[in-house]
Chain A
């Protein structure tokens, strides 16, 4: 994929999101329609969970997958620019921080993001699961993260070993 297109698509997703994984639904919608598979998203998320830094760096991995090194660099540039909005938001927020409507808007936004991210990740699980073991892996990932907060390295390492043991 053309690095400029990678930059623009990733900048759009990053600019319209809050939080590390907030841009995932937008990127998923834009890239799947251009032929990128669910597996590529799964691989990028796995790499991001194993590497240091924020979870949002899955975009760098995804940029590499769709556009090589120049795609990764374009994705990095696209994810650095939107957080600069904090310098403007800091000034604006002091004027509206005390308003109840500000809290209400942020609450609704967090629920919407949870729904969007939940649906996108459901699509990744559904698109990559063809048997009971793979569905069970998806369920385990959900429960282990939501309930027990296990370290990703333990989960991903365990899944790798189990995958080799089952299929090889």
Chain B
């Protein structure tokens, strides 16, 4: 799975589900879904946390390093190899020309992922829900400005957001 999941998190998720639930039946759909949701609470890369959970569950503590090696060794090796090749060929005119469009493109793709992370849904014709969406947009914008204009440290902005969620939103 670590070597074949081209296409980022979605592709990896599909492969994990296919192998663990559909092909081998080690987990049922509900359990897989629950463990996936729980892994989203971890610090760092969620999918690594997910692999840690699966390794622990299927083979105990020894399963954790084995699962991590299986999942990360191929993908990390390919990533290092591709970067080494890229660094070696930088300076070639064809590569430089290709990168001139690839770099802004990947910046735009990352902005698209940011929008997906927020996941705003166009609400029904309720004024209250439109106001809630507008409020969310303001929070996204304020966080951007805090880092971009005020130069606030990123961890401070994230901690403030968590605190604001606990204090300001109705419990």
Interface residues of A (CB under 8 A from B): 14-26, 29, 38-39, 42-57, 60-61, 64-65, 69, 72, 76, 79-87, 89-90, 93, 99-101, 104-125, 128-129, 133-135, 137-147, 151-153, 155-156, 159-164, 166-168
A105 neighbours in B (Cβ, 8 Å): 162-163, 165-166
B142 neighbours in A (Cβ, 8 Å): 115
Interchain Cβ contacts under 8 Å between A and B, 25 examples: A19-B117, A26-B154, A43-B99, A51-B6, A51-B75, A51-B79, A55-B8, A56-B45, A60-B76, A60-B83, A65-B87, A85-B44, A101-B165, A101-B169, A108-B139, A110-B119, A112-B157, A114-B114, A117-B110, A117-B114, A118-B144, A128-B104, A137-B108, A162-B101, A164-B98
Docked pose: A142 CA to B12 CA in angstroms: 22
Interchain CB contact (< 8 A) of B47 among A47, A54, A61, A144: A54
Docked pose: A164 CA to B101 CA in angstroms: 9
B154 neighbours in A (Cβ, 8 Å): 16, 25-26, 29, 116
Q: Are A111 and B166 in contact (CB under 8 A)?
A: no
Docked pose: A108 CA to B101 CA in angstroms: 34
Q: Are A121 and B108 in contact (CB under 8 A)?
A: yes
- Closest chain A residue, CB of each to CB of B103: A42
Interchain CB contact (< 8 A) of B78 among A52, A87, A145, A153: A52
- Closest chain B residue, CB of each to CB of A33: B151
Task: Give B153 Cβ to nearest chain A Cβ, in Å.
Answer: 7
Interchain CB contact (< 8 A) of A20 among B9, B72, B87, B171: B9
Q: Are A141 and B83 in contact (CB under 8 A)?
A: no
Docked pose: A24 CA to B160 CA in angstroms: 18
Other A-B contacts than A108-B169, A122-B144, A128-B103, 9 sampled, CB-CB below 8 A, are: A43-B99, A46-B103, A72-B79, A86-B53, A114-B140, A116-B143, A139-B108, A141-B111, A142-B108
Q: Are B106 and A20 in contact (CB under 8 A)?
A: no
Task: Give the number of residues in B that approach A within 8 Å (Cβ atoms).
Answer: 89
Q: Are B48 and A29 in contact (CB under 8 A)?
A: no
Interface of B, secondary structure class, is helix
Interchain CB contact (< 8 A) of B38 among A81, A86, A106: A86
A85 neighbours in B (Cβ, 8 Å): 42-44, 49
Q: Are B139 and A141 in contact (CB under 8 A)?
A: no
Q: A115-B139, A118-B114, A129-B104 are in contact. Are A108 and B45 (CB under 8 A)?
A: no
